[in-house]
Amino acid sequence: MSKRMITALVLIALMVIVMLLNAGHNVRLDLVFTSIRVSAAMAYLGFAALGVVVGILLR
């Protein structure tokens, strides 16, 4: 396995651990025109997905 693949797997594992630890907590997200309450794990997943999309677009 390449160094890049190992780094990606470690980051994915850390994200999964953080999501599992925060699965029961709710957070309030203040958006431009409104605010919503979501699970902290779902907020982290959404931000991670957004980061992946931005990374792919900037590649």
23 DSSP assignment: T
What's the token pair of residue 1? 């396995």
Q: What is the per-residue pLDDT across 40-55, written as a single tens digit (0 to 9) for each? A: 888 888 999 999 899 8
pLDDT for 41: 87
What's the token pair of residue 4? 């890049």
Q: What is the mean pLDDT of residues 2-17?
A: 90
Residues across the chain: 59
- Using CA atoms, how far apart are residues 5 and 37, in angstroms rounded to an integer? 34
Q: Is the pLDDT of residue 21 over 90?
A: no
Domain boundaries of the chain, sorted by first residue: 3-58
Q: Is the pLDDT of residue 37 over 90?
A: yes
> Hey, what's the torsion of the CAs at 41, 43, 44, 50, to 10 degrees?
150
